[in-house]
Amino acid sequence: MLPIVAIVGRPNVGKSTLFNRLTRSRDAIVASVPGITRDRHYGRGRLGGRPYLVVDTGGFEPVAREGLLHEMARQARQAVDEADAVLFVVDARAGLAPQDRTIANELRRSGRRVFLVVNKAEGMDPAIAGADFHALGLGAPLPISAEHGANVAALMELALAGLPPAREAPRAADRHPKIAVLGRPNVGKSTLVNALLGEERVIVSDEPGTTRDSIYIEFERGQRRYTLIDTAGLRRRWRVAEPAEKFSVVKALQALEDANVAILVLDARQDIAEQDAHVAGYVLEAGRALVVAVNKWERLPEEERELVKRALARKLDFLGFARLHFISALTGQGMDPLMKSVDEAYAAAMARLPTPRLTRALAQAVAQQPPPRAGVIRPRLRYAHQGGVNPPRIVVHGNALERVPEAYRRYLERFFRAAFKLQGTPLRVEFRTGFNPYADRTGRRR
């Protein structure tokens, strides 16, 4: 098992900056606005040849009794309970705050090894930077600069000292599905993630925009390993005004690029809006396999359900390749069929298509419906091979293929999808025209 190091502290003291420094990534959103991080965020760090897990948390408000601040504090407490060592981050430039004393008292009662980290100490005398914080009674303050990396390695040497040597579990050679849960704000994405995990892993609130970062969570279901990615609600770009929300949308789109399968979550009680189609457009642009989950189905009156199904068929007709499921994340209804479709979509996205079978399927498609003539020339499609996966990409070779119309390309996509049972994934068909030795540089025949 890898040792776990949790980062806690009040808002805007540089916890996420330290997380990114330790994981050598930009996985956590960093901004001058407090309260960006809300859920627990896990990453992998390494000190020399020694790996460890690091957990970023939201601003710790121990006195909060309800609402979002209470949920953030609960997530921070759970991170402390899981940790082998806790990095309590304070702000050297802001000095000792009353909230720091409250957090220190709670951490002292936790029984965990706590290291008092005085961040933003660049350019300051170390003794002066940590002077105020001796009053917390948590040992000698450790001045660092998370932004510039000063003294961070020394900090981690102290934090990991005395912990058992890490033993990494061997990683399976086969890849496992990464599933991005997408949708506009407040459609139940985090509730769906918790339902699949069987625990309250991420914060759920009626307040739109509760999730701001993309949270990666590994889990097993039916003896199969997955990575779930809970993302922030996606809006159209021109409607995103708050700086923190702009960062959140970027992280959601990055998560989509990192995923193999996307679950597009819709709210059955709301009209299928242009915004939903826009989010689906993001998935198609990325070329990711897709499953559509219509959530909150249990709250919809029976007489309205058929109307909703018709509206879905009409407004999302361009997603005909994707399975559609009517679920209730709150009650767990429909989780097994949903994950079965995720497995099917992943298998289709990663399918390996042999060149002989592709070429035979191409010949059948052309025999059934030849490409239309372009003037006196009819394009000739000779053979096909696979050019990539996630999404599957089929490259067709022949002559005069630049004259093949877009409608015929779509026909080939449908034919290949049916022939190879590629349900749940977009399909790319590319044309490559062979070199014509009888054409001069202007493209005219000699």
Distance CA 156, CA 130 (A): 18
pLDDT of 244 higher than 70:
no
More confident residue, 441 or 45: 45
Average pLDDT, the chain: 83
Over the Cα atoms of the chain, what is R_g? 27
Task: Give burial (CB, 10 Å; 0-12/13-18/19+) of 209.
Answer: middle
H/E run at residue 179: strand 178-182
Kindly state the DSSP code that residue 150 receives in the 8-state scheme.
B
- Is residue 282 very low, low, confident or very high in pLDDT (cuts 50, 70, 90)? confident
Q: Where are the beta strands (DSSP E) in 257-322?
A: 261-267, 289-295
Burial class (CB in 10 A: 0-12, 13-18, 19+), 109: exposed
Query: What pLDDT band is residue 243 in, cutting at 50, 70 and 90?
Result: very low
Neighbours of 126 (CB within 10 A): 15
Quote the distance between the C-alpha of residue 48 and its chain's center. 28
> Best-predicted range by mean pLDDT among 202-206, 214-218, 294-298?
294-298
Q: What pairing do the DSSP bridges indicate for beta strands 50-56 and 85-91? A: unpaired
Helix axes 274-286, 243-258, angle to 10 degrees: 50
pLDDT digits (tens, 9 = 90+) for 106-136: 999 988 999 999 999 999 999 999 999 999 9
Mean of pLDDT values over 48-55: 86
365 compared with 246, residue with greater pLDDT = 365
Across the range 315-338, mean pLDDT stands at 92
The pair of structure tokens assigned to 295 is: 């959530």
Backbone angles phi, psi at 292, to 5 degrees: -100, 125
The DSSP annotation for 84-132 comes to SEEEEEEETTT---HHHHHHHHHHHHHTSEEEEEEES-TTS-HHHHHGG
Beta bridge partners of 395: 385, 430
Of 440 and 84, more confident: 84
Does 355 have pLDDT greater than 90?
yes
Please report the pLDDT score of residue 239 as a whole number: 44
Q: Nearest Cα to 345, choosing from 178, 185, 205, 202?
A: 178
Could you tell me the pLDDT band of residue 4, with boundaries at 50, 70 and 90?
confident
pLDDT tier at 210, thresholds 50, 70, 90: very low
Is 318's pLDDT higher than 90? no
Mean of the pLDDT values across residues 259-270? 91
Question: Is 204's pLDDT higher than 60?
Answer: no
Residue 241 has pLDDT above 50, yes or no: no
CB 154 within 8 A of CB 87: no
